[in-house]
Chain A
Amino acid sequence: MHISEGILSAPVLAAGWGLAAAGLAIGLKKTPGEKLSRVAVLSAAIFLISLIRVPVGPSSVHLTLFGIMGVMLGISVIPAIFVALLLQAMLFQFGGFAVLGVNTVNLSTAALTGWLIYICMPSKVPAPVTGFIIGFGAVVAGSLMLIAAMYLSDSSFTTTVKLIFAANIPLAVVEGVITLFILIFLQRMLPEYAHTRD
């Protein structure tokens, strides 16, 4: 769900940086000093998990787990994602520096969608359903943001963004199923760790 450097137009990049800066300011303000290690260790764990290839049929996929990240970290997920993207740009040259703002906004939207679904879902909805919607919804939200950024930059990307969106739908289903199981496991093992309405 990364956008590479050199694809987006100046207004989209500027808007991305503006929104990312505002989100970062809010995220850092709402993250107390004593919670920094939790944000860092969880984002390190999810960063590593996202590098594991999960076999699906004859192929395999890399997961993102943004939905679970949002549920665990709440609004603090914005600085966590910014840092993960900065490290990816530095270590692998995925994404980049000019596009860091837009990528932060896209992926934070995915994670915050997961968090919002989690806190808005009525408690009578079974946990597996909530888990699937969190995982599926996060990937779809991230893909839609990516599509919007690319389309607003250059309308000739219409077919490209359709192809990217179609490629992300199977990932969203797999992500939904994995998130469903992870949420059930976490609610049993660490019920106090799911971030709520604070």
Chain B
Amino acid sequence: MHIPEIKHLPFTNADPRARLLAGMLLVLAVAFTDSRAVLTGVIVLSALLLCRSLKPVLKRLLAVNLLTVFIWLTLPFTVERGASIAALYTLRINACALILMVFIAPMGIGALSNALISLKCPGKLVSILVLTYRWIFVLKDRTATAVTAMQLRRPEKIGALRTLRTYAALFATAIASAALRSERIQQAMMLRGFNGTLPRTQALHWRKGDTVLLTASALLALFLCYIQQCST
């Protein structure tokens, strides 16, 4: 699992609650905008904010655009003004992805979980989020090693069914070992006083700049909604 890392991001010092709320407001507004000019403007503005990490941003956008391939393969040939509609969806998908990269992607899991706890998200849900994130990275190397070992031992000429059976054995072993490990983790956590909710790991400080960021984002979102309303 390789995640192209985006460096030199804006708003890294902002409170995670402000970033989360600002990002969600703007994504919601952009997701319903029909104006191509506005969407292009959002893309250009986001690209300017992310311009110091253009390569990883483009790599991520490439993966995000998988659905747009299906849209471009069908809409232009089946619907009147299909190319124009496909272009609109492509602009929207990319604008939303870029907003997520600007506001939410740079947040670490600690900041996100703290923000969610502060915003009254259910404690159990935040616990599952944090534990899943941690165990993805713990199990990652182990799974990669098992896959490499299996690929090295697998004969070159092997039937399709036997290949699937070999992979299934690998997956079943990974699932079984994860299930057994989760029992031991649970016992260790209970001994440390875990009661289903994780405590907040760092104090959050809301500053004037966070209010400015959130207000500016809310005003921009309202402006986008107003433009949309005027055009319909």
A41 and B171 in contact (CB under 8 A), knowing A10-B32, A48-B1? Answer: no
| A157 to B: closest C-beta gap in Å | 8
B32, B132, B183, most chain A CB atoms within 10 A: B132
| A72 to B: closest C-beta gap in Å | 7
In the complex the two chains form, what is the Cα distance from A10 to B89 in whole Å?
14
Contact A178 B129 (CB under 8 A): no
Interface presence of B101 (CB below 8 A): yes
Interface presence of A91 (CB below 8 A): yes
Contact B27 A96 (CB under 8 A): yes
| A187 to B: closest C-beta gap in Å | 10
Q: Beta-carbon contacts of A175-197 to B below 8 Å, as 1s and 0s? A: 00110111001100110010000
Interface presence of A151 (CB below 8 A): no
Contact among B96, B164, B172 with A98 in the assembled complex (CB-CB below 8 Å): B96
Contact among B24, B74, B104, B175 with A90 in the assembled complex (CB-CB below 8 Å): B104
Contact among A34, A41, A82 with B190 in the assembled complex (CB-CB below 8 Å): A34
Q: Closest chain B residue to A82 by CB distance?
A: B125
Contact A93 B125 (CB under 8 A): no
Stretch from A51-59, A108-116, A117-125, A136-144 that touches the partner: A51-59
- Determine the chain A residues whose CB is within 8 A of the CB of B133 once the complex forms: 44, 87
In the complex the two chains form, what is the Cα distance from A51 to B3 in whole Å?
12
- Determine the chain A residues whose CB is within 8 A of the CB of B32 once the complex forms: 10
Contact B171 A86 (CB under 8 A): no
A44 and B139 in contact (CB under 8 A), knowing A84-B132, A97-B23, A164-B70? Answer: yes
Question: How many A-B Cβ pairs are below 8 Å?
Answer: 239
A182 and B79 in contact (CB under 8 A), knowing A28-B124, A90-B104, A97-B27? Answer: no
Contact A37 B79 (CB under 8 A): no
Q: Which of B149-198 contact A (CB under 8 A)?
A: 160-161, 163-165, 167-169, 171-176, 178-183, 185-186, 189-190, 194-197
Q: Count B-side interface residues using an 8 Å CB cutoff.
A: 82
Q: Closest chain A residue to B81 by CB distance?
A: A156
Contact A33 B124 (CB under 8 A): yes
| A151 to B: closest C-beta gap in Å | 13
| B108 to A: closest C-beta gap in Å | 10
Q: Which of B84-126 contact A (CB under 8 A)?
A: 85, 89, 92-93, 95-97, 100-101, 104-105, 107, 112, 122, 124-125
Q: Closest chain B residue to A93 by CB distance?
A: B97
Q: Which of A127-172 contact B (CB under 8 A)?
A: 154, 156-160, 163-164, 167
- Determine the chain A residues whose CB is within 8 A of the CB of B173 once the complex forms: 185
Contact A44 B136 (CB under 8 A): yes
Interface presence of B45 (CB below 8 A): no
Q: Beta-carbon contacts of A16-55 to B below 8 Å, as 1s and 0s? A: 0000000010001001111111111111111111011011
| A196 to B: closest C-beta gap in Å | 15
In the complex the two chains form, what is the Cα distance from A143 to B195 in whole Å?
37
Contact B128 A45 (CB under 8 A): no
Q: Which of A47-95 contact B (CB under 8 A)?
A: 47-49, 51-52, 54-57, 63, 65, 68, 72, 79-80, 82-84, 86-87, 89-94
- Partner-B contacts on A (CB < 8 A): 2-8, 10, 13, 24, 28, 31-49, 51-52, 54-57, 63, 65, 68, 72, 79-80, 82-84, 86-87, 89-94, 96-99, 154, 156-160, 163-164, 167, 174, 177-178, 180-182, 185-186, 189-190, 193
21 A-B residue pairs with Cβ-Cβ distance under 8 Å, sorted by A, are A6-B30, A32-B196, A37-B131, A40-B182, A42-B178, A44-B138, A45-B178, A55-B163, A57-B160, A65-B171, A80-B128, A92-B63, A93-B61, A94-B64, A96-B97, A158-B78, A160-B71, A163-B70, A178-B164, A181-B168, A181-B169
18 more contacts with CB within 8 A, not counting A92-B3, A154-B85, are A5-B92, A36-B196, A38-B183, A44-B134, A44-B178, A45-B135, A45-B139, A65-B171, A83-B129, A92-B63, A93-B60, A93-B97, A96-B100, A174-B164, A180-B168, A181-B165, A182-B172, A189-B172
